[in-house]
C-alpha cells in the first residue's frame, strides 16, 4: 500500500509540473483555448481520481466529480472578469489548480504548499474589470468582494448623488470608493481609509488605474484616538482586524487617528453625505472618533455591525440622534456573525 501511495504521489507531482509547463507555453504564444483546456483538466482529474481510488480512497468517484463540477465551476465563471488575455488566463490557471480535492491536498503537504505558491503568483499581477472599473487584486477573496454577488443589498440601500461627499472606512482595495468616484464625479469627493499596507497599496494602484482624481486615500486605522495599534493579519485580505481576534498570522503596527480630525479639522469639509464603515469589529471605536462629524454634518451611515457590538452601537447612535434600519440580518448576508444597518439622522 505504501509503495502504491508513493508511486501515486510521484505521478501526481509529475503530472502537475507537466500541466503547468504546457499552460505557460500556451500563454506565451497566446493560443490557450479555455474550454478545451478545461475539458483537458476534467479528463486529467478523472484519471487522478481513478488512481486515487485504486490505492484505497473511501471517496466516491461520482461524489468527487460532482463536487468538482459544482463547487469549483464557480471559479471558472470568473474568467471573463480578467482584463485582457493574460489576466483571463491567470484566473483560469488559478481555477484549475485550486480545484484539486482537499483530500489529496491534505495527504500530500508538498503539493498543498505548491498550489498555495501558485495562487500567490497568479494574483501578483492580475487585473480584472467589473462594471467598467479596473482592479488589481490581491487574492481570491478580493475577486469575490468586487463581484456583484457580494453584499447585493448595497445596490438598494447605498444611493449616492452627484456632488456627494462619501467617506469609505475600511476601503479594502476600493470597490465602493471607486464606484462612488464615478457617481459623485468632479464636484464630489471620496475619502478612502484603509489600515492594511498591502490593501492600501492596491487601493492607490486602483485609483491610478481608473484615473479617479476625486479620491483621497489615507493609510491609517480609524479609531477613537490617535496613536499606534496592532493590526492582526487575517486569513485573507478582507479579515485583518484590530479589535476582534488573531488568526495566528501575527500582527503589524499601524497608525490610528480620529476621523473627526481628518474630516472636520484637516479637510474642513462643508458637507459629508455618506459614511460606510466595514472594519471587522472595530465599528464602535470608529464611531467614537466620528461624533463631531455626525453632529455637524449628519451623514447617512451604512455600518457592518458585529453581533457583540450591537447593543452599545445602538446606544451610541441613539445618543447621536440616529435611527436604525436593517439592510441585512445575522445569517442573511455574508455571515451569521454580523449584520448591516443603514442609519439616518432623526433631524434629516
Q: Is residue 140 part of a domain?
A: no
Based on the domain organization, do 99 and 160 belong to the same domain? no
Exposure pattern of 173-194 as b/e (b: 16+ CB <10 Å)?
bbbbbbbbbebbeeebbbbbbb
Sign of CA dihedral 33, 34, 36, 42: positive
Based on the domain organization, do 43 and 185 belong to the same domain? no
Q: Is residue 282 part of a domain?
A: yes
Q: Is residue 98 part of a domain?
A: yes
H-type alpha helices, 125-196: 140-146, 154-157, 175-184
Q: Is residue 135 part of a domain?
A: no
Based on the domain organization, do 200 and 121 belong to the same domain? no
Query: Would you state the pLDDT for residue 18?
Result: 64
Give residues with Cβ within 8 angstroms of 170, minimum separation 6: 193, 194, 195, 222, 276, 277, 278, 279, 280, 304
Give the structural domain span for 40: 2-125
Q: Is residue 236 part of a domain?
A: yes
DSSP single-letter state for residue 81? G
Can you state the percent helix, strand and coil of the chain, rounding each to 5? 50, 20, 30
Long-range contacts of 16-24 (CB under 8 A, 24+ apart): 16/97, 16/111, 16/114, 19/44, 19/96, 20/97, 20/118, 23/89, 23/93, 23/96
Query: Would you state the pLDDT for residue 342?
Result: 84
Based on the domain organization, do 199 and 326 belong to the same domain? yes
The C-alpha cell 484505497 sits at: 56
Based on the domain organization, do 206 and 334 belong to the same domain? yes
Based on the domain organization, do 108 and 172 belong to the same domain? no
Q: Is residue 324 part of a domain?
A: yes
**CA distance linking residue 49 with residue 65, whole number of Å:** 9
- Residue at which a domain ends, from 92, 125, 158: 125
Total count of domains within the chain: 2
Based on the domain organization, do 27 and 99 belong to the same domain? yes
Exposure pattern of 75-96 as b/e (b: 16+ CB <10 Å)?
bbebbebbbeeebbbbbbbbbb
pTM, rounded to two decimals: 0.78
Based on the domain organization, do 73 and 213 belong to the same domain? no
Based on the domain organization, do 201 and 334 belong to the same domain? yes
**CA distance linking residue 131 with residue 149, whole number of Å:** 13
Based on the domain organization, do 6 and 105 belong to the same domain? yes
Q: Is residue 257 part of a domain?
A: yes
β partners of residue 83: none
**CA distance linking residue 295 with residue 320, whole number of Å:** 7
Query: Would you state the pLDDT for residue 190?
Result: 98
- Residue at which a domain ends, from 65, 90, 125: 125
Based on the domain organization, do 88 and 43 belong to the same domain? yes
CATH of the domain at 319: 3.40.50.150
Q: Is residue 141 part of a domain?
A: no
Mean pLDDT for back-to-back runs of 10 residues, the chain (348 residues): 56 59 57 54 60 52 47 72 83 77 74 78 86 91 86 86 96 97 92 97 97 97 96 88 78 96 97 96 95 96 89 92 77 60 83
Based on the domain organization, do 307 and 167 belong to the same domain? yes
Query: Would you state the pLDDT for residue 24?
Result: 58
DSSP single-letter state for residue 39? H
The string of pLDDT tens digits covering residues 227-258 is: 999 999 988 888 899 976 777 788 999 999 99
Amino acid at each position: 500500500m505504501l509503495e502504491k501511495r508513493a508511486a501515486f504521489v510521484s505521478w501526481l507531482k509529475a503530472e502537475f509540473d507537466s500541466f503547468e509547463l504546457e499552460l505557460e507555453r500556451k500563454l506565451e504564444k497566446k493560443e490557450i483555448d479555455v474550454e478545451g483546456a478545461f475539458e483537458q483538466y476534467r479528463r486529467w482529474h478523472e484519471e487522478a481520481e481513478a488512481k486515487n481510488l485504486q490505492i484505497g480512497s473511501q471517496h466516491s468517484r461520482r461524489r468527487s466529480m460532482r463536487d468538482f463540477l459544482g463547487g469549483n465551476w464557480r471559479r471558472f465563471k470568473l474568467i471573463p472578469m480578467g482584463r485582457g488575455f493574460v489576466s483571463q488566463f491567470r484566473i483560469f490557471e488559478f481555477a484549475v489548480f485550486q480545484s484539486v480535492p482537499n483530500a489529496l491536498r491534505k495527504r500530500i503537504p508538498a503539493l498543498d504548499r505548491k498550489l498555495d505558491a501558485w495562487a500567490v503568483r497568479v494574483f501578483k499581477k492580475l487585473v480584472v474589470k467589473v462594471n467598467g472599473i479596473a482592479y488589481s487584486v490581491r487574492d481570491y477573496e478580493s475577486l469575490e468582494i468586487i463581484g456583484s454577488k457580494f453584499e447585493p443589498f448595497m445596490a438598494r440601500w447605498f444611493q449616492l448623488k452627484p456632488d456627494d461627499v462619501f467617506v469609505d472606512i475600511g476601503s479594502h482595495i476600493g470597490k465602493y470608493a471607486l464606484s462612488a468616484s464615478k457617481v459623485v464625479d468632479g464636484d464630489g469627493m471620496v475619502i478612502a481609509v484603509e489600515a492594511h499596507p498591502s490593501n492600501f497599496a492596491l487601493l492607490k494602484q486602483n485609483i491610478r488605474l481608473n484615473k479617479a482624481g476625486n479620491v483621497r486615500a489615507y493609510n491609517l486605522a480609524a479609531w477613537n484616538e490617535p496613536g499606534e495599534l496592532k493590526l492582526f493579519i487575517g486569513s485573507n485580505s478582507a479579515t485583518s482586524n484590530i479589535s476582534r481576534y488573531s488568526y495566528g498570522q501575527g500582527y503589524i503596527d499601524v497608525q490610528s487617528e480620529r476621523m473627526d480630525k481628518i474630516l472636520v479639522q484637516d479637510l474642513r469639509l462643508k458637507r459629508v453625505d455618506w459614511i460606510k464603515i466595514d472594519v471587522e469589529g472595530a465599528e464602535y471605536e470608529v464611531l467614537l472618533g466620528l461624533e463631531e462629524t455626525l453632529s455637524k454634518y449628519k451623514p447617512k451611515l451604512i455600518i457592518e455591525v458585529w453581533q457583540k457590538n450591537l447593543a452599545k452601537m445602538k446606544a451610541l447612535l441613539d445618543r447621536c440622534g440616529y435611527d436604525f434600519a436593517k439592510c441585512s440580518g445575522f445569517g442573511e448576508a455574508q455571515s451569521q456573525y454580523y449584520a448591516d444597518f443603514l442609519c439616518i439622522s432623526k433631524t434629516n
